[in-house]
Amino acid sequence: MQTYADIQTGKKMFGMTLQELVDNFLEYRNKDVETKRIVKGRWVTIRSQCRHVLAYKSPNLKIAELDRDSFYDYETYRKTVSGAKDVTIRNEQATINEMVRYAYRQGYTHIDKFNFRPIKISKSKISSAKGYLGSNEINDTAKIKIPFMKKIASNNFELNDPKFELIINNCQ
């Protein structure tokens, strides 16, 4: 009965392609731009990340054919094809999992998360981030705290809590 109701309302139940999922996800995230949950620049980044997904897996691939390990070697692909940095790949992986969680909530797939090959960030890589992060002392390679308000003040972001800090975890 529910399946029939879903079909009547236009919900695609069988055979959704990866391209269709990406299109739906981008439309969904564009609503976040319209309601000011994210800025347009973030949406553009998400769109770019989705293009990499479609280059890695065929746009015509049925999402029903995907399993938890379908993106396991995504890191290797991105490094081989374009020399992408670890931080870029981690951000892309987060977006890919955000997209699959969206698909799961919509009932398009039974997968709620993809597994990725772990990206290890060495102590030297963390230390080299010091120049990017400013003069913050980096002692613990598992967690870096940055006074976030100072970092985003020039980007026209507004946050009400001046104690808000960006915490970067070194996920192993």
What digits encode the pLDDT tens for the residues 5-45?
455 545 555 689 999 999 999 999 999 999 999 999 999 99
152 and 90 both lie in a single domain? no
Decide: helix, strand or coil at residue 169: strand
Cα distance between residue 19 and residue 149, in whole Å: 38
Domain hosting residue 67, numbered range: 2-106
In this structure, is residue 112 part of a structural domain?
no
Asked if 94 and 50 count as a contact pair (C-beta separation under 8 A), the reply is no
- pLDDT of 160 above 80: no
**pLDDT at site 124:** 55
Least confident stretch, 58-67, 74-83, 101-110, 137-146: 137-146
98 and 131 both lie in a single domain? no
Per-residue pLDDT of 103-118, as tens digits, reads: 999 999 999 999 999 9
- Our measurement of the distance from residue 83's CA atom to the centroid of its chain's CA atoms, rounded to an integer in Å, reads 18
H or E stretch at 32: helix 18-34
